[in-house]
């Protein structure tokens, strides 16, 4: 998506360690025009997929997932990273290692919100090493539901996981795919 690439070039900041800071338009302050455009674009791409639910993980995935859910007119479910009083009783659970933050955490979602008959679209703001996406795919599998694919705002393909998943037949649609980035600039996939 051209607009996403333009925003990354205009407002993103490349930090050491392959991290892109996008707090000014995606992660902390949210550009709502951009968000609406992302929702419409993802809805267009997955129009024929029969999506019944959007799944993301807290926290930064929720805004994009909501925009997508509104455009597709389906409910949005987000996995929690900590057990709270909202997630009691029966849950689906997946253990995830965050490479960026070097911690392990559990992703949890109530069994009430993912059903065997669901066709689930996974949405997230970043696809880096793919641990979060793999965890969410596990939750969908535990529910016996179908995962139709993933929609990602910013994919960092140089971190390796995304093309491997595509090669295995998993559909991933990213609004911007960064092939490389460093102090000399950011290069997008054509
Ligand atoms: P993964 O998302 O592919 O699993 O990779 P990783 O384990 O490295 O990502 C861990 C966290 O770091 C995720 O957020 C992810 O969105 C975020 N992240 C990864 N690469 C970047 C980047 O280049 N820039 C920014 N801004 N974030 C990145 P999280 O820990 O789940 O936190 P939250 O913000 O969603 O609460």
pTM of the model: 0.96
Mean predicted confidence (pLDDT) in 94-118? 93
Distance 173 CA to ligand 1 centre (A): 17
Residue 36 CA from chain centroid, whole number: 16
Q: Which atom of ligand 1 is nearest to the CA of 135?
A: 4
Nearest CA to ligand 1 atom 24: 20
Q: Which of 122, 123, 128 to mutate to test the pocket of ligand 1 (most atoms within 8 A of CB)?
A: 128
Q: What is the pLDDT of residue 84?
A: 66
Q: What is the pLDDT of residue 89?
A: 65
Q: What percent of the chain has pLDDT over 70?
A: 96
8 CB near ligand 1 (under 6 Å): no
Distance 164 CA to ligand 1 centre (A): 19
Kindly tell me the burial class for residue 151, based on how many C-beta atoms sit within 10 Å of its own C-beta (0-12, 13-18, 19 or more). Answer: buried
Can you tell me the distance from the alpha carbon of 111 to that of 19, in angstroms, rounded to the nearest whole number? 34
Mean predicted confidence (pLDDT) in 91-99? 93
21 CB near ligand 1 (under 6 Å): yes
Q: What integer best gives the mean pLDDT of the chain?
A: 95
């Amino acid at each position: 998506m051209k607009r996403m690439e333009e925003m990354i070039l205009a407002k993103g900041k490349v930090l050491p360690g392959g991290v892109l800071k996008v707090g000014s338009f995606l992660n902390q302050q949210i550009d709502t025009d951009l968000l609406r455009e992302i929702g419409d674009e993802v809805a267009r791409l997955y129009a024929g997929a029969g999506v019944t639910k959007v799944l993301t993980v807290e926290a930064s995935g929720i805004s994009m997932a909501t925009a997508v859910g509104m455009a597709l007119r389906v409910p949005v479910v987000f996995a929690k990273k900590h057990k709270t009083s909202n997630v009691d009783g029966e849950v689906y659970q997946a253990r995830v290692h965050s490479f960026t933050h070097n911690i392990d955490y559990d992703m949890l979602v109530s069994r009430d919100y993912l059903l065997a008959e669901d066709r689930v679209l996974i949405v997230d703001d970043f696809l880096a090493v793919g641990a979060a996406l793999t965890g969410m795919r596990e939750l969908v599998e535990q529910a016996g539901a179908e995962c139709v694919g993933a929609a990602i705002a910013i994919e960092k393909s140089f971190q390796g996981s995304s093309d491997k998943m595509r090669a295995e037949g998993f559909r991933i649609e990213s609004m911007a795919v960064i092939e490389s980035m460093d102090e000399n600039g950011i290069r997008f996939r054509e």
